[in-house]
Structure 1
């Protein structure tokens, strides 16, 4: 039976090793890492999945800030990465963790401005993310525009930049 726990209960080394196995050791140069550079994940929205005591998946969510060219600042939550042990990647564990994180964000009132970088067909079909509002967004690195996705009533539609949001 799969158990979901707060990621804070898992050693950082174990999480990093899983991320390396799922995404490769060169993952740190990706645009998603640049967007959230220098900030910790949100503990209340980040989780790990265990199966019979073994870490098999994680999801982390991050505080990010959209700085509009019009001066508007919109606090957002960046969802992901969703890392699943390679041998378990077709078992629905990532989808389970994603649902859990989104339900938690909704319950906490933090689901009105979400964004991620990911497969548009998957995240649209299962979770309602789309690239409709992100066409004018700038990010610190290359991105396939169709993969820059958002969801929520407060998602900005104008032009501007995404970057880390420092929490007090």
Structure 2
């Protein structure tokens, strides 16, 4: 039976190994990694999928912000990466993890969500679109149509960057 558990319940090394298998060792050079660089995933919004004690999928959510060109900033939560064991992809594991993370974000009143991903998939299943992101900039290349947001995301011009969250 597949269970969704807090990501803290699994080994950080196992998560990193899964991310390497799912995305390749060059994953750290991607624009999404640059946006969240220097932050820690939000524990309450990051989950693992396990089956018979084996890690088969993860989703992590990150504190980021839109640094507005006009001044100030707007907090956001960056969803992803969603990683699934390559031999288990296309089995609904990633969709279940994403739905779970979004449900928890909605229930806890998290900041608006954003991600870089396939608009047909994330729009159809989760309500993400690019209506607010047209004036956003990112620290690297991105296909504009893949820069998506959900909820009351700011439509201001600005740069997406890490948001440091103080921990007690």
TM over 0.5: yes
CA displacement, residues 12-68 of structure 1 (integer Å, 9 cap, x when unaligned): 110000000100011000000000001110000000000111100000000001111
Structure 1 unpaired stretches of 5+: none
The separation in 2 between residues aligned to 1:124 and 1:141, in whole angstroms, is 23
The separation in 2 between residues aligned to 1:47 and 1:80, in whole angstroms, is 11
**Correspondence for 2:47:** 47
Secondary structure at 1:27 match in 2:
helix
The separation in 1 between residues aligned to 2:139 and 2:73, in whole angstroms, is 17
The separation in 1 between residues aligned to 2:161 and 2:12, in whole angstroms, is 23
Asked whether 1:137 is paired with 2:103, we answer no
The separation in 2 between residues aligned to 1:4 and 1:91, in whole angstroms, is 15
The separation in 1 between residues aligned to 2:43 and 2:122, in whole angstroms, is 22
Secondary structure at 1:71 match in 2:
coil
In the TM superposition, what is the alpha-carbon distance from 1:72 to its structure 2 partner? 3.1
In the TM superposition, what is the alpha-carbon distance from 1:139 to its structure 2 partner? 0.5
1:1-150 alignment runs, 5 A limit:
1-110=1-110, 112-150=111-149
Runs of 4+ displaced beyond 2 Å: none
The separation in 1 between residues aligned to 2:43 and 2:96, in whole angstroms, is 18
The two structures, once aligned, show a CA RMSD in angstroms of 0.7
In the TM superposition, what is the alpha-carbon distance from 1:105 to its structure 2 partner? 0.5
The separation in 1 between residues aligned to 2:66 and 2:11, in whole angstroms, is 31
Q: TM-score, normalised by structure 1?
A: 0.97
Report how many aligned residue pairs link the two structures. 166
Secondary structure at 1:95 match in 2:
helix
The separation in 2 between residues aligned to 1:58 and 1:164, in whole angstroms, is 21
The separation in 2 between residues aligned to 1:39 and 1:68, in whole angstroms, is 19
Secondary structure at 1:156 match in 2:
coil
> Paired residue for 2:158, among 154, 157, 160?
160
